[in-house]
Structure 1
Amino acid sequence: MKFTLIQVFRGIAAMLVVMHHLIANSKNHLNYIPYSNFFNFGFVGVDFFFVLSGFIITHVHFDDLKSQGINSWNFFKKRFIRIYPIYWIIAVVFLLIYLISTPQFMIDAGLTMDLTSPPVIKLLIESFLLLPNPDIRLVGVAWTLSYEMLFYIVFGICISYGFRFSKVAGAVWVVLILLYTFANTPGGIYMDFFFNILILEFLMGCLVAYFICNQVAFSWKFAFPILLILFVLLQQTMHINGLVFFRDIVTVTLMGLFFSLITYLAVRFDQANPSYKFPAFLVLIGDASYSIYLSHNMLLSGLTRTFALLNPGGEGKAFLPLVATLIFLITVLSGVFLHLFVEKKLLRFFNQKFFAKKVRVESRIAVRD
């Protein structure tokens, strides 16, 4: 079944992140905050993505989990194909840009783009392999992909060992995350990474898929009041300082529950209304959400810097609301074109190369599959 509303939500999550970074780039380069800073909460698009990823992967591969002893090699190949090729293209573009002009985050770290420098080589290796690095990255948004890959690795192991192992592994992971969080003892980069509270959002998405696959039903009349309560609680617990958002265990749990319930309701809506047609452009943006996510910061930075250079005296301040909107639209549309003419072709090429037989069409919701 095609869960079209899930695709629409993927597009909305991507556009929220774009809006959040549009505010940052516009503030830095144009001295202007668009939309009265309304979309400063756009960072929640990342949390929504994590819940949706947990749901999508679990729903698509639920039968694999329940069939013990399946070789997970094909799963890992598909995950690799879905994440790395288009990411590496974007990373190379960033590298070329940084070779021309050293970015501020490297200057702040006392680095220059010297390809013979050990710290720079380390940065490039960690960036291209999506290894955890809490400090600096070649592609800023790639920190989220490191968590995606961690989730995929653990999920692939679960496929190999079966459903009972998966349930135990998930429960143990949750317990260890909570213990590590409340212990509040520094454990190093990899401990902080593997037991990060953000993993809970993936696992909540997995739980939603479990409920859907087992046809566990919740009454709509209870769901919406719960959503409202969660929303009010989030308003009280979110710690936002300008464009900086501080995630703690309470906020992440509430956001995970909030987006998990939205995901559940979206799937139930699709199941109850299989013939409902959403606007095609929203579905397309959902399909292109990964390309939009990877490319948007580079485009936002380039476009806002370009306008600032073309308007050095600031005479066009009256047009900044329109300029900001146009930059947003150009960024989203560029991501769509990247998806249609690069990402999809890469996927087709590597699927044909790595899979001798035709790859099973699993579901339209599996955007990263």
Structure 2
Amino acid sequence: MNTTGALGLFAQATLSIVMEALPFLLMGSVASGLVEAYVPRERVERLVPKGRIAATLFGLALGAATPCCECGVVYLARRLMGKGVPAGAAITFMLAAPVINPVSILATLVAFRGDPTMAVWRCLIVATAALVVGFLAGGEKAEALLRPLAGDAPSCGCGHDHGPGQDHGHAPATVPGSPFGSLADALPVAALAKKTRRDKAASAFTHAMADFLNMAMVLVFGAMAAAAFKAYVPAPVVMAMENDMALAIPGMMALAVGLSLCSQADAFVAASFSTFPMAARLAFLALGPMLDLKLVLMWRQVFTPKLVRRLAILPAAVVFAACVAFGLATGGAS
């Protein structure tokens, strides 16, 4: 293919992926903003069961009901653990929520033209990996898995930087050394009036806009990388991966880690690799939301090295084993 033709294919593929994914990015951002502004976390925290297995299953259920992507869920999980939510529930929620929520499921269905196979298997594999890691983490105290806060994590726990006053309506911060324990105890009742509807709406809009802009930048980068792969990688290399599942699965897993796509848009990138085995595309979809470069950087800020190692190794092992089994069972179908 000549240079002009390759450039045209690159531009067309990039635009196609971005335009298909943007509506779902917007839906996920709005839903995340609404949850952040209107759903009291303290109420959720009181509902968490204390048993190890029950707490892990609760984290999975909470993930299914929370429309968010992995871009901000790390700091949310850290906040939940700091507020007393069992580690097993928080870690299971962190790994599963970006994939098993309704927005990501709908995006996967649309990307694969209504075929439920990828959406169903993606959810099953991610849920399995999340439960395994969450159950193991549930055997330890949350304090043993968290790094001490040193100003590296936003206090609101949403994973974004905010200016003064952009607190999402969360509880006031603790005052170091204060006998009252928190600003809420030291302030007069009049200063603690609930947020108005307008304040909540503004908070939801601000949070949704920040999510959308952050995820859109990552989506464009990922779309360009996928389009460059299609347009510029030599045909023999592509054919070797297409025809050999042993190369395609680890290759697509490595691509998912490197691209660091949003879970509400990665299905459209995976669908663009239409000539690759289904098992390889499934590996891309299942691993990316649980393990990528930006997540590793976030984990190193929030969790202890021991937990970071588990988060990096166990999901990858589960995804690889499940996708190899899937590929063998389906005969490597595309």
Q: TM-score, normalised by structure 2?
A: 0.25
TM-score if structure 1 supplies the norm length?
0.24
